[in-house]
Structure 1
Amino acid sequence: MSRVGKRPISIPNTVETVVQGSKIVFKNGKNTKELETYGRVQIDLNANELSFKSIDNDPQSRAYWGTYRALANNIVIGMSTGFTKILEINGVGYKAAVAGKILELALGFSHPIKYPIPEGIEISVDKNTITIKGSDKQQIGQIAAEIREFRPPEPYKGKGIKYSDEIIMRKAGKTAKK
């Protein structure tokens, strides 16, 4: 039985939720997000609480039950508070700056890297940290992974771009022959 799917989602007053058949529509001001369940789970909306039920006891149905509950919860959290990922830049001469809707990265290459910032995403740079904010958890994670991919941290000196909570296991360098 799904431990995730069992828990109901409490919906704040700022997020308006409507169930249309197998689709759930979330509205917050001008933002609108839809979650299509394709009839794989049963949806119950009571006052300010959204809950899901599995259609049958099949393992695939129970997987959908937890998955759709988690996706709906991420939409509600994203619309009410938002998500944040923080990246750190380590290395001599490595720097980042935001110019309009473009993130410019100087990471030791012969040219600066220009990353276009997508709509609905806010990126800010403060010294050696890049903060990515938005309402879509999947999109925030994808953007953070793409930026990290430009120069992943290396294990000898720790130079590169890493997540703020990531721990880099350091390796010992070469030792001289005796």
Structure 2
Amino acid sequence: MIKIQKNNQKNNQLIFFKSSLGSLKLFNVDEKIRIPKNINIIIKKKNLNFIGPLGSINLDIMNSLNFFIKNHKLLISFNNIRLRRKKKSFLNLYKSLIKLKMKGILQGFKLNLFLKGLGFKAFIENNNLTLKLGYSHSIDIQIPENIKIINQTNKLIFTSNDWIFLTKYVHYIKNFKKPEPYKGKGLLLKNETIILKEGKKSKK
């Protein structure tokens, strides 16, 4: 039978396999993240799979990191000596990404996009978003499976369990009609501030 033992040190924590052959070092624990009870994490070779109340989501992982689960905690180890100067940056990045993934499948994320302009309209049909933004043609955009859209008067509400994908998708749509600087017409995010310019004054 193999058991796992801990050996505390000043800078990090060592995880060992204890067996009849003795104690074998597994890896240094550089970061620990608590896993909520209603989230399950499956560790694969190239990614982490997070499963929770709002579905599942993957996170690609770099070869320089090892992951291990013990006592409802995700343990992270950095093993690339050549990149040791960037160790802290990589660990902080993945710690933030992991917490973001867990929040997504627990609570989800929401972004509001406002349609500000005369005649601006939005329609949703058959997983397609159609926008009328004052052009001579309408704009058709496919809605991904992991994003839901609620169409309200002059407002679109986007929800997803993937924050990074959600923000990229909403900004992609927003680029079809960026707010213009004179009247502020366009597609605006909630709490977005537009600094308006004065129009050209006619000569008398």
Scaled by the length of structure 1, the TM-score of the pair is 0.84
Aligned CA-pair RMSD: 2.4
What stretches of structure 1 of length at least 5 have no aligned partner? 1-5
Matching residue of 1:75: 101
Matching residue of 1:28: 52
Secondary structure class of the residue paired with 1:145: helix
> Which of 85, 90, 103 is the equivalent residue of 2:129?
103
Q: Does 1:47 align with 2:71?
A: yes
CA contact under 8 A between 1:51 and 1:69: conserved in structure 2? no
Take 1:72 and 1:132, find their aligned partners in 2: how far apart are those partners?
Answer: 22
Deviation of residue 8 (structure 1)? Answer: 4.9
Structure with max Cα Rg: 2
Take 1:177 and 1:77, find their aligned partners in 2: how far apart are those partners?
Answer: 57
Deviation of residue 29 (structure 1)? Answer: 6.2
Matching residue of 1:131: 157
Residues 57-77 of structure 1 deviation map (CA, whole Å, 9 limit, x = unaligned): 833222111111111111111
Superposed counterparts of 1:111-150, under 5 Å: 111-150=137-176
After the TM superposition, which of the residue ranges 168-177 and 53-62 deviates more from structure 2? 53-62
Give the structure with the higher percent strand: 2
Matching residue of 2:10: none
Secondary structure class of the residue paired with 1:122: strand
Take 1:21 and 1:164, find their aligned partners in 2: how far apart are those partners?
Answer: 39
What stretches of structure 2 of length at least 5 have no aligned partner? 1-29
Residues 8-49 of structure 1 deviation map (CA, whole Å, 9 limit, x = unaligned): 543322211233567433223694333343342353534333
CA contact under 8 A between 1:107 and 1:151: conserved in structure 2? yes
After the TM superposition, which of the residue ranges 35-44 and 85-94 deviates more from structure 2? 35-44
Matching residue of 1:3: none
Scaled by the length of structure 2, the TM-score of the pair is 0.74
Residues 86-137 of structure 1 deviation map (CA, whole Å, 9 limit, x = unaligned): 1111011111121231111110011111111011210111101111111111
Secondary structure class of the residue paired with 2:198: coil
Secondary structure class of the residue paired with 1:150: helix
Q: Does 1:156 align with 2:157?
A: no
Q: How many residues align?
A: 173
Which consecutive aligned stretches of 4+ in structure 1 deviate over 4 angstroms post-superposition?
20-23, 53-57
Matching residue of 2:115: 89
Secondary structure class of the residue paired with 2:129: strand
Identify which of structures 1 and 2 has the higher relative contact order when contacts are C-alpha pairs closer than 8 Å and 6+ apart. 1
Q: 1:8 to 1:127 in 2, by over 3 A?
A: farther
Take 1:146 and 1:44, find their aligned partners in 2: how far apart are those partners?
Answer: 36
Aligned residue type for 2:74: L
Take 1:131 and 1:123, find their aligned partners in 2: how far apart are those partners?
Answer: 5
Q: 1:52 to 1:88 in 2, by over 3 A?
A: same
Identity level (%):
27
